[in-house]
Chain A
Amino acid sequence: MSTMSDDSKNSLLEEKLIKNLNTKLGVSINFQKERRLWTSIDSDKIVDICTKAYEMGFEHLSTISVTDWLEEGKHELVYHLWSYSHKVLLTIKTKIDRKNPNISSINSIWGANAETCERECHELFGVKFEGNPNLTPLFLEDWEGPPPFLKDFNWREYVKEETYDQNNPREKVYFEVKK
């Protein structure tokens, strides 16, 4: 019985938080499940909304992730913000154009933590974060090909062409593997 009352108490708290976020951030917050809230916003509002969310207690940037929607022609950036005081994960989603992947950096709020996340997104998806002074490769040193996580980049073929020689009898077998 005690757990049930706790749950209802929690959901009440979350309802309050959702209302608060709706008014202060000026966005519509969706309740996904317990302790999980998400919202979709325009890409140009990202710094503004992240600043407001930080002031409301979402102090921890867990990660930034990118999804490549090839048919739609968009990159979807997902910012995961955790609040230690509310104990709620707020997920902010935004879409940017795939051919011109520019978005402002949030390093004014989270500093080096955000910069490292952005470096990773930059090297794997080619997203340019304006205002990030250090977008050097994090893992892929000396990489000359396109960003490897893009959906239209066939890295298996790329590796075969770059590293293996079809005329070499020892390496011929690599070209016979079908995946």
Chain B
Amino acid sequence: MIIKKKVITKKKVMKTFVKSVWVFNWFNSCGFTEILPVVSSRWDMERFGLVAVNSPRKADALFIAGYQTHKSMKRAQQIYEQMPNPKFVFALGSCTMTGGMYWDSYNTVKRIEDYVPVFMYIPGCPPRPEAIFDAVHKVIVHVDELPDE
């Protein structure tokens, strides 16, 4: 009888951990108020297993929205470091991509990928709730598409 050796692959590990995506929010300024409909009953993110958690240590994904200053970005990095692997960073809205309407301000971060590794940018000012659900679904698709080797 041949005993098949169990191989641990990245895909298998990711499949175990990434099921429903729990989210920790790091929002500045209007970022919070604009994403609030995603949580509330109209779009209700909990029906897709998306839960806003109260500690980065429980989170799979980090949502960053609103314009970030150099001071707030340091705190975002601390949050990112506390999150367990596998972790995904979503940058929401145009402010995180280019600085948005604060593109020529002296104290805003222009490109967030210079500070934390971004999994996905979601454009929009603010992004539609549907776009956020679609982006989070892509995490699961991403895990499915990983090569099993």
Enumerate chain A interface residues (CB-CB to B < 8 A). 139-143, 145, 148, 155-156, 158-160, 163-164, 174, 177
Which residues of A sit under 8 angstroms from B70, Cβ to Cβ?
Answer: 140-143
Q: Tell me the minimal C-beta distance from A146 to chain B in angstroms.
A: 10
Count, A-B residue pairs, CB within 8 A: 29
Identity of the chain A residue whose Cβ is nearest the Cβ of B109 in the assembled complex: A163
Q: Answer yes or no: B69 CB below 8 A from chain A CBs.
A: yes
Identity of the chain B residue whose Cβ is nearest the Cβ of A179 in the assembled complex: B104
Q: Tell me the minimal C-beta distance from A6 to chain B in angstroms.
A: 41
Which residues of A sit under 8 angstroms from B77, Cβ to Cβ?
Answer: none
B107 adjacent to A139 (CB under 8 Å)? yes
Binary contact track B103-126/A, C-beta < 8 Å → 1, others 0: 111110010000000000000000
B104 adjacent to A141 (CB under 8 Å)? no
Identity of the chain B residue whose Cβ is nearest the Cβ of A174 in the assembled complex: B103
Bound complex: CA A148 to CA B105 (Å): 10
Q: Tell me the minimal C-beta distance from B58 to chain A in angstroms.
A: 28
Q: Tell me the minimal C-beta distance from B71 to chain A in angstroms.
A: 5
Enumerate chain B interface residues (CB-CB to A < 8 A). 69-71, 74, 103-107, 110
CB within 8 Å for A141 and B74 given contacts A156-B104, A159-B104, A174-B103: yes
**What are 22 residue pairs bridging A and B, where the CB atoms are less than 8 Å apart in the complex?**
A139-B69, A139-B71, A139-B107, A140-B70, A140-B71, A140-B107, A141-B70, A141-B74, A142-B70, A143-B107, A148-B106, A148-B107, A155-B105, A155-B106, A158-B106, A159-B104, A159-B105, A159-B106, A160-B104, A163-B110, A164-B110, A174-B104
